Each structure stands twice: as structure tokens, then as C-alpha cells.
Structure 1
Amino acid sequence: MTTSTAAPPPPPAARAATPPEPPSAGRRRQRKGSMRRREAITGLLFVSPWILGFLVFTLGAMVYSLVISFSRYQLATDTARPAGLANYEALITDPKIAIALGNTLYYAVLAVPLEIALALGLALLLNSVRRGAGFFRTVFYLPKMTPTVATASVFLLLLNGSTGAINRGLAAIGIDGPDWLLDPAWVKPSIVLMTVWGVAGTMVIFLAALQNVPKELHEAASIDGAGAWRRFWHVTLPLISPAVLFNVLVLTIAAFQIFDQAFLLFHRTTGTGSSDASLFYAIYLFEQAFRQFNFGFAAAMAWLLFVIILVISIIQMRVGNRFVYYEGGDR
């Protein structure tokens, strides 16, 4: 009987020896690293004025306002006494807070869709212009360049109930115009009219988005028999949906911070208009801070507004991202 002996396993394959790195490659890598550091330092130096301004005037002011929102701070006496949650409890008990929030929400619901529709319509109109496009874009953008004080002065004349140009135009066609500046039911629509006058900034964003829509898609849809409305609904609107969401977010934030138009039309002088109908949240915050000098309560109001805008923005982002088309495919 013969016994077989197992053959020894073959020796492991010898690994290929890695050639040593030449000194020139190491020096190039060091130069690239130092160049990146210099570029980073240079970039930080260029943006350092903005960073310093943000830390001092934005973040620092926010932190300070949060601190004084828990205190009774009167500017006249320059004293701050701890108040705990008293200012936030006053937000619940003050009836004017509910009125101001209601007016602001009513204005936002009325103004934002109208601004979006008007800006998109103007952008579509300007996008279709071939001759004199630059001239028409400049003309449509001029109202945005007009100072708000000048615009308010014009609208005070236009919206005058007895001698205003708008009511005179309505009377010419047999319509009895409302008392825009005195009737509480027409106070907020009058402010919306003044707001949409400066809709050119939103229009420019829509125009830029429309010019990035590939013409080949419109041509293909037209060959397939799609009309103008179907091409807009199924081609144009999905491709500009990121711009729509951005404008909705920005306009909503601006609507909840409405101040200039309402202040110039109704609160610049006492006794003008209906105080409750034109009492927006930012107006009431201004009155508490700079007329009543109740900075603690005003700071609490500011933080409540911050939370409201934050919640609404998150909801809009969550809902809007379901309908927004991104070219990369990610939502």
C-alpha cells in the first residue's frame, strides 16, 4: 500500500514592487496644496467684510433681540429687567396681534398668486418679442427702479376716492369706484395694487428661466400636434418650476414682512385710512418698538414672525419639491 504525499502549495505570487515616487511629483503636489490654501485665504479675505457685517449686524442683532425678548427693555430708561416669558404671553393676550397676523395673512394670500401670475405673464410676453426686446424689457423694469416713496405718492393720487384717476376712469364706463383709502374692505386691495406695480424683479427671474427652456422641446411638441396651451403646461411650466418655487418662497417672505407700502399709504400721518384694516404685523412691530419704545415686546414679536415664516417656508419647500422638475432627476 502506497501513501501519497500532498504537494506543497505554490509560493504566493511575488507582489510587484511599487516604483518610488520621483521627487518632482512630490514637489508638484506640495505646490498645488499651497496654491489651494492661498486661494482659500484670498477668497476669505474678499468675503470677510460681508462675514464681519453678517456676524455683527445680522447674527449679533438676532442673538441680542432674542435676549431682550425675555426682558422688559425700555429705550427711554435704557434699562432691561428680566421678564421671563411675559412678552410671549402678551403675544397671546394682545388682540391686535391676531388682527395684524390676520391682515398680513390675507394680504399674502391675495398678493403672492397675483404677483406670480402677472410676472409670469409679462415674462412670457417679453420672451416672445423679437424686435425691440431690450427697449420693452427696460420699460417694464422701470417701475422696480422707482423709489417706494415716489410710488406711494403717485398711488395716493391714483386711489383718491373723489378725484383719483382710477375712479374717474371707472366712472367713464359707468362704474362707481370704491373709496380705496378709507373703506376697510378696499384697504388691502389698494396695497396689493401698489405692490404689483413693482413686480418687475420677479418678472426678470421668470424671463431668465424661460430663455433656458430648450426650443427643441417646443418644436417636438408642436410637431406632435400640441397647441400653445399644452406646450406651456407640459413643457414650459415643468422646466421653469424651480423658478416658480423660488419666487413663491421669496414673495411669501416679503408679504409677511410688508411694511413700506402700508406705512406710506396709511400710517405716515395719523387719521389716514382704517387703522385696523391696514394694521399689518410689521407695522404693529414698528409701533411697539419705535413709538411705544417697548423693545422687549417688539423683539418677541419679531421672533414669532421668524418662526411663522420658517414654518411656512418649510411647508412650501416640502410640498413644492413634489412638483418641481430638476434636470438632474433629483428632487
Structure 2
Amino acid sequence: MATVTNSPALRRKAVRTRLRTLGFLSPWLVGFTVFFGYPLVATVYFSFMHYNQIETPTFVGLRNWRYVFEQMPLFGPALWNTLWLVVVMVALRVVFGLGIGLLVTKVKSGVGFFRTAFYLPYLAPPVAATVAFVFLLNPGTGPVNDILGTIGISAPNWFNDPTWAKPSLVLLSLWGIGDLMVIFMAALLDVPKDQYEAADLDGAGAFHKFRYVTWPSITPIVMFAVVTGVVQTMQYYTQALVAGKLASGVSIGPGSVIQPGYPDHSTLTVPQLVYSLGFQNFNTGAACVLSLVLFAIAMAVTTLLMRRRAGLLSAED
């Protein structure tokens, strides 16, 4: 039996099988190596170097790491703002998206209109959507504050107030909730109808049907929405930068250097700090350190969410 198992023909067949498998995997392996593996290794390498993108990199050991954690005054506010947005924005987007999905699936007439109305803001480019939203919430000329004033509500300064700047960004993200609405609608429409019929026969109310029928069926989609939301929010850059710049009243033009964080560093995020350090101040080493910190946090949060004890997936899933 050993002679048959180790025959040259079987070994050649095993080699051909491995090569065929490697051939099918090669597009993914090339993409992973070029777009993830090499950038990650290069980022780790440059985090220990002094490199201004002009001169030859020189080894400086842990100097960049000490600078980021001990001497950079904006690292703490940027990290806090990023984590705040991850917790609040992702949670509210998932809840709001699920609520809109439930609402649209229950509408008896005008379904197409409501689907279009909720999905259209998501199609707007991020910069254009942010410009429109900042205009709507402008404390001096925006229609939102005028409407609130006519009904006797004292309107905040929105993007011009450090207390309201991040909640304003959350409102902007909820305005463009169309992507999650479509995902949750597909999940809700895929719930087996016979389970709802069985729940009706048992006398279950709306809450119990959602708790014991709808929720177990859509928990994988909720997990997907939370994980992708965390990854996207960890990279939050454009909307916060444009909103802060427009609210500050400084014009954006060719050659202008944008200092992020207005007002009072309340909208400063770690990706903005990475760009400012790496491409405006040419401090590539410190920018790489911040990138690795952001990557480590994103991996830790994603790993925590993917664990079964996070409670989003049942043991059967």
C-alpha cells in the first residue's frame, strides 16, 4: 500500500493539483501582496526611519514612536474623535438603516418613491453632499436654523460649535443612509414568510416577531454592517475635512493648505493627521506610526466583533 500511495504518478498528480489551486489563487495572492502586504511592510519599515520623501531614509529607532505618543499634542484629540465617531456613528447608522428598511418594507403604497427618496442622498459625491449639508446647517443663512427659530427652538451653531461638530457629522452620515437601507431591505425581504405565519398563529405581537423571527434571520447582515462600518469610519477623512473648512469660512483653492480640525480640533481624525504629517509636513515616519496605530485598533475592534460572544451572531451562524 505504501508503494502505491507514494508512486510517481500520484505525486505528479498531487503537484498538478497544487499548481492548479495556486493558479486559481494567484489573482488574489498578487492583489494581496501588491496592495496590502507590501504597503504594510513598507509602513512598518518607514516607522523606524527619518524620511522626508526627498532624502534617503535614515534609521532612527523608536524616535518616531516616542514623538507620536509623547510629544504630538494632536494625537489624543484625533484618536478620541475617531473612536467617538466609530462608536456613535456606526451604532446610529445601523439602527437608523434598519429602521428605515423596516419602514419601507411595511409601506403598502408609494414604495418606489420612498426607496428613491431615501437612497438618492447616498448617490451624491461626498464633497458635494457635505457642501450641501453645511449650507443647510449654516447658523447664519441655513434654512434649518430658520425653521427651528420659527417654532421657538434655539438652534445650535452646528459645524461652528465644538460641541455640535461631531453630532453634525453623524447627522450627515444618517442623511446618506441609503446604502444600509438597501442592504437591510434585502435581508428583511428574505426572512421566511412561514415563520411570520407561525408566529401569528401563536399570537405573537410585533415586538416578539421581530425578536424571535426577524432578528435571528438578519444578524449576519447586522454583523456585516457593523464590521464594514467600523472599517469605513476608521478611515473617515473627506466629510470632516470639507465640513470644517467650509464652516471656518476660509476659501478652498489651488495651492491652499488645509489645516483640519475646525472648530477647536473637534473634527480632527487620525486619517487627517496622517495626511497632514505625511504630505504637508513630509514627516513620513510619524505618519507611518499613526497608520499602524489605526490599523492595530481597526484589527482589534474587528476581531472583537467577530467573536461569537460579541452577541451579534448566534452559535448556529
**Fold conserved between structures, TM > 0.5:** yes
Cα deviation code 1:27-67 (max 9, x no counterpart):
xxxxx99x9899868855xx73x653442233222211111
Whole-angstrom distance in 2 between the partners of 1:283 and 1:165 = 30
Give the TM-score normalised by the residue count of structure 2. 0.84
| Displacement after TM superposition at 1:109 (Å) | 2.0
Counterpart code for 1:305: L
Shift of 1:319: 5.2
2:75 to 82, 89, 97: 97
Mapped partners of 2:284, 2:146: distance in 1? 45
RMSD: 2.7
Structure 1 position 80 matched with structure 2 position 60: no
Mapped pair 1:113 → 2:91: yes
1:124 Cα deviation after fit: 0.8
Tell me what 2:177 maps to: 199
| Map of 2:243 onto structure 1 | 265
Any idea what SS the aligned residue of 2:51 has?
strand
Query: Which sits farther off after the overlay, 164-173 or 135-144?
Result: 135-144
Instruction: Give the one of 102, 108, 117 matched to 1:124.
Output: 102
Q: Which of 226, 243, 268 lines up with 1:279 in the alignment?
A: 268
Which one-letter code corresponds to 1:297 in the other structure? A
SS at match of 2:171: helix
Shift of 1:156: 1.9
Q: Is the 8 A contact 2:222 2:312 kept in 1?
A: no
Per-residue deviation at 1:323? 4.3
Query: Relative to structure 1, is the Cα distance of residues 233 and 58 closer, same or farther in structure 2, using a 3 angstrom cutoff?
Result: same
> Structure 1 residues 249-258 or 170-179, which shifts more?
249-258
* Higher gyration radius (CA): 1
User: Taking structure 1 as reference, are residues 37 and 66 closer, same or farther at Cα in structure 2, changes over 3 Å only?
Assistant: closer
User: Which residue number corresponds to residue 233 of structure 1?
Assistant: 211
Q: Percent identity?
A: 37
Provide the residue aligned with 1:301 in structure 2: 290
Shift of 1:79: 2.2
**Alignment partners' CA distance in 2, 1:321 and 1:113:** 14
- Structure 1, residues 160-192: CA drift from partner, whole Å, max 9, x if none? 111111111111211121111211101101111
Q: Is the 8 A contact 1:239 1:325 kept in 2?
A: no
The Cα shift of 1:126 comes to 2.0
TM-score (norm 1): 0.80
**Does structure 2 conserve the Cα–Cα contact (< 8 Å) formed by 1:245 and 1:320?**
no
Distance of 1:134 and 1:42 partners within structure 2 = 45
The gaps in structure 1 that reach 5 residues or longer are 1-31
| Residue number among 135, 157, 171 corresponding to 1:179 in the alignment | 157
Aligned to 1:23: none
Amino acid at match of 1:89: R
Cα deviation per residue 1:123-165 (whole Å; 9 max; x = unaligned)?
A: 1122223555445333322222111111011012111111111
Structure 2: tracts of 5 or more residues without a match: 1-12, 247-251, 253-257
Count of residue pairs brought into register by the alignment: 294
* Structure 1 equivalent of residue 140 of structure 2: 162
Whole-angstrom CA distance in 1 between matches of 2:281 and 2:312: 45
Give secondary structure in 1 for the equivalent of 2:307.
helix
Distance 1:120 1:214 in 2: 18
Give 1 or 2: higher helix fraction: 2
